[in-house]
Amino acid sequence: MKSAAALLVVAELFLAGCTAPTKEKDGLNGISNNWQQDFDAKLPMLGHRNWILIVDKAFPEQNAAGMDYIYANEDLDAVLKKVLAQVNLSGHVKPIVYRDKELSFISEQQVKGVTRFKTSIENTLGNLPVQTMLHDSVFKKLDTESKLFKVLVIKTNEVIPYTSVFLQLDCAYWTKPKEDTLRNRMKN
């Protein structure tokens, strides 16, 4: 009887170790059932000089220690809208927007749907100033930045090339003129 009970306990432990988790993968650096929840949890930790990248599906996962990844199985524009809304509500950060320069040279003949995508993203970004840079320059910049500051990459299911949007975070409650005034006072 004791050996049957012991065998039952061992079998239960074995089976418990073999059951699949209820979520695909928790948190950052993986697939999550709710990317927005993961993002909302991470946003309060991000601040001035951190980055949020909303990228197309082919954007590579990099080895840099300062980069975290979330997969959002949605269109890039839909994810960008949600990210910008949360950043704007945060009160502590505001975005400086960068985009790939190459996108403006891609034609509808090369990639079907690119015109619609460009228009949609322009509407989403609204009046935000947008800086463009060559795609390879983005990687060089991120390589340098991720050594000191966290970079959160939200990978989407977008399959139009050069569509990624890069948000460098700036302080929402402290401006450059205020900083300049402070530095000038400190000189006296």
- Please report the pLDDT score of residue 179 as a whole number: 92
- Quick: pLDDT tens for 116-131: 999 999 999 999 999 9
Q: At what angle do helices 76-90 and 35-42 cross, to 10 degrees?
A: 30
Q: What percent of the chain has pLDDT over 70?
A: 82
Q: Looking at residue 38, what is its pLDDT?
A: 96
Least confident of 27-31, 62-66, 126-130: 27-31
Decide if pLDDT at 178 tops 90. Answer: yes
Q: What is the C-alpha to C-alpha distance for residues 50 and 150, in angstroms, rounded to an integer?
A: 5
Domain-by-domain residue ranges, the chain?
25-187
Angle 124-112-58 (CA atoms, 0-180°, nearest 5)? Answer: 70
pLDDT tier for residue 22 given thresholds of 50, 70 and 90: very low
More confident call, 65 vs 171: 171
CATH top-level class for 25-187? alpha beta
pLDDT digits (tens, 9 = 90+) for 99-119: 999 999 999 999 999 999 999
pLDDT at 17: 44
What are the Cα distances from residue 113, in Å, to 72, 82, 141? 20, 22, 29
Give pLDDT tens digits for 131-143.
Answer: 999 999 988 888 8
